[in-house]
Amino acid sequence: MTTIHKVSTRDVRIDLHPGEGSDAIHSNPQYSYAVTLLATDKPGLTGVGLAFTLGGGNDLVCAAAKTLADALAGREIEELMADFGRTTRELADHHQLRWLGPHKGVVHLALASVVNACFDLWAKSRGVPLWRLLLDLSPEALVATLDLSYLEDVLTADEARRMIAAERPTRASREGVIARGYPGYDTSVGWFNYSDEQVRTNARKALDNGFTAMKLKVGSKETARDVRRASIVREVVGPDVRVMVDANQQWTLPVALRACLALAPMNPYWVEEPTHPDDVAAHQTLARAIAPIPIAMGEHVPNRVVFKNYMQAQAAKFIQVDAVRVAGVSEFIVVSLMARQHGLIVVPHVGDMGQIHQHLVLFNHVGLGLDRVFLEYIPHLRDSFVHPAVVEGGVYKTPMEAGSSSDLK
End-to-end distance of the chain based on CA atoms, in angstroms?
27
> Of residues 11, 20, 167, 278, which one binds a copy of itself by CB under 8 A?
278
Q: What share of the chain is helix, strand, coil (3-state, %, to 5)?
A: 45, 15, 40
User: For residues 177 and 158, what is the distance between their CA atoms, to the nearest angstrom?
Assistant: 29
Nearest approach in angstroms of CB 96 to a copy of itself is 3
Does 61 sit near a copy of itself (CB under 8 A)?
yes
User: For residues 363 and 351, what is the distance between their CA atoms, to the nearest angstrom?
Assistant: 18
Of 221-229, 296-304, 332-340, 396-404, which segment contacts a copy of itself by CB under 8 A? 296-304
Q: Coil, helix or strand for 93?
A: coil
> Of residues 249, 320, 355, 404, which one binds a copy of itself by CB under 8 A?
249
> Of residues 276, 342, 380, 387, which one binds a copy of itself by CB under 8 A?
276
User: For residues 21 and 188, what is the distance between their CA atoms, to the nearest angstrom?
Assistant: 8
Assess whether 349 carries a catalytic annotation: yes
Residue 346 DSSP symbol: E
User: For residues 130 and 369, what is the distance between their CA atoms, to the nearest angstrom?
Assistant: 17
Nearer to a copy of itself by Cβ, of 198 and 312: the residue is 312
Spot the catalytic one: 94, 104, 215, 349. Answer: 349
Nearest approach in angstroms of CB 30 to a copy of itself is 7
Q: What number of chain residues touch a copy of itself (CB under 8 A)?
A: 61
Does 173 sit near a copy of itself (CB under 8 A)?
no
Name the helix (H) or strand (E) containing 5: strand 4-13
Assess whether 217 carries a catalytic annotation: yes
Spot the catalytic one: 94, 104, 217, 283. Answer: 217
Name the helix (H) or strand (E) containing 319: strand 318-319
Q: Coil, helix or strand for 8?
A: strand
User: For residues 145 and 362, what is the distance between their CA atoms, to the nearest angstrom?
Assistant: 18
Nearest approach in angstroms of CB 215 to a copy of itself is 18
- Other C-beta atoms closer than 10 Å to the C-beta of 18 total 9
Nearest approach in angstroms of CB 2 to a copy of itself is 29
Nearest approach in angstroms of CB 217 to a copy of itself is 15
Identity of the residue numbered 106: V
Determine the length of the chain. 409
> Of residues 47, 49, 69, 103, which one binds a copy of itself by CB under 8 A?
103
User: For residues 363 and 173, what is the distance between their CA atoms, to the nearest angstrom?
Assistant: 14
> Of residues 80, 91, 107, 232, which one binds a copy of itself by CB under 8 A?
107
Contact 353, 375 (CB under 8 A): no
> Of residues 40, 53, 223, 406, which one binds a copy of itself by CB under 8 A?
53
- Other C-beta atoms closer than 10 Å to the C-beta of 397 total 16
Does 275 sit near a copy of itself (CB under 8 A)?
yes
> Of residues 150, 162, 392, 393, which one binds a copy of itself by CB under 8 A?
150
Does 36 sit near a copy of itself (CB under 8 A)?
no
Identity of the residue numbered 125: S
DSSP 172-184: HHHTHHHHH-EEE
> Of residues 143, 271, 295, 306, which one binds a copy of itself by CB under 8 A?
306
> Of residues 174, 200, 234, 308, which one binds a copy of itself by CB under 8 A?
308
Identity of the residue numbered 112: A
Nearest approach in angstroms of CB 29 to a copy of itself is 6
Contact 245, 230 (CB under 8 A): yes
Nearest approach in angstroms of CB 33 to a copy of itself is 12
Which residues carry out catalysis?
217, 349
Chain positions contacting a copy of itself, by CB under 8 A: 25-30, 53-57, 59-61, 63-64, 67, 93-109, 149-150, 152-153, 249, 252-255, 275-282, 285, 300, 302-303, 305-306, 308-309, 312-313
